[in-house]
């Protein structure tokens, strides 16, 4: 059996999916919340992503963060990682050209051993080139995930 994939979703994937404004993000979250991912996939979430999404959701409704936490508490999500990556890794992602605040996301993905970082943001997709993990948009990652599931059957 192939090893469990670790994936990091950036904040905009959640918001675009909730807004249904990007079909790839909508389809990816629909697939993740309805599939059976045990032994296949785990989603690691840095506290930066938690903070950002919750701030947006609070403006939508006071009850919205609770729904988001319900998703984070469900498989394939692995809750929120409240520890932060080490300085050396953050420095690495600044060296690779990311702004200070985005460096934390790249460093986190490498630190948790992610195979994929999934942002829906041209800035990230075009700028970040690393051997540590692949950077894909939601639609491209969903295709990989579906292929993997077919191969598992």
Partner 1 sequence: MGADIVHVLADGTLLLSEELRESFADVRTFWATREDDFILLIPLDRKDEEALTASRALAELREMATQTGETARTAEEVIEKLQAIRRRIWEEEYRPRYLKAIEKYYATHSDRRPR
Taking CB under 8 A as the rule, does residue 30 contact partner 1? yes
Q: Which of 5, 7, 22, 40 binds partner 1 (CB under 8 A)?
A: 22
Whichever of 2 and 84 has its CB closer to partner 1, that residue is 84
Q: 118 and 137 in contact (C-beta within 8 Å)?
A: yes
Q: In the range 65-124, which residues lie near partner 1 by CB under 8 A?
A: 65-74, 77, 80, 82, 84, 87, 90-91, 94-95, 100-102, 104, 121, 123
Whichever of 84 and 115 has its CB closer to partner 1, that residue is 84
Whichever of 6 and 17 has its CB closer to partner 1, that residue is 17
Q: Which of 4, 27, 56, 125 binds partner 1 (CB under 8 A)?
A: 56
Q: How far apart are CA 64 and CA 62, in angstroms?
A: 6
Tell me how far, at minimum, the Cβ of 113 lies from partner 1, in Å. Answer: 21
Q: 14 and 123 in contact (C-beta within 8 Å)?
A: no
Q: 114 and 135 in contact (C-beta within 8 Å)?
A: no
Q: Which of 36, 38, 39, 61 binds partner 1 (CB under 8 A)?
A: 61
Tell me how far, at minimum, the Cβ of 126 lies from partner 1, in Å. Answer: 13
DSSP letter, residue 62: T
Q: 50 and 57 in contact (C-beta within 8 Å)?
A: no
Q: Could you give phi then psi for residue 104, rounded to 5 degrees? A: -65, -35
């Amino acid at each position: 059996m192939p090893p469990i994939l670790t994936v990091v979703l950036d904040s905009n994937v959640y918001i675009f999916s909730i807004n249904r404004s990007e079909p790839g993000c909508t389809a990816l979250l629909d697939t993740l919340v309805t599939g059976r991912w045990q032994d296949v996939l785990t989603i690691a979430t840095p506290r930066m992503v938690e903070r950002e999404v919750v701030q947006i959701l609070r403006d939508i409704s006071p009850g919205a963060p609770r729904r988001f936490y319900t998703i984070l508490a469900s498989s394939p999500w692995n809750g929120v990682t409240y520890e932060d990556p080490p300085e050396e890794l953050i420095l690495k992602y600044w060296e690779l050209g990311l702004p200070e605040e985005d460096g934390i996301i790249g460093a986190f993905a490498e630190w948790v051993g992610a195979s994929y970082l999934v942002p829906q943001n041209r800035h990230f997709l075009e700028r970040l080139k690393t051997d540590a993990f692949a950077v894909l948009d939601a639609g491209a990652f969903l295709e990989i995930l579906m292929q993997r599931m077919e191969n598992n059957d």
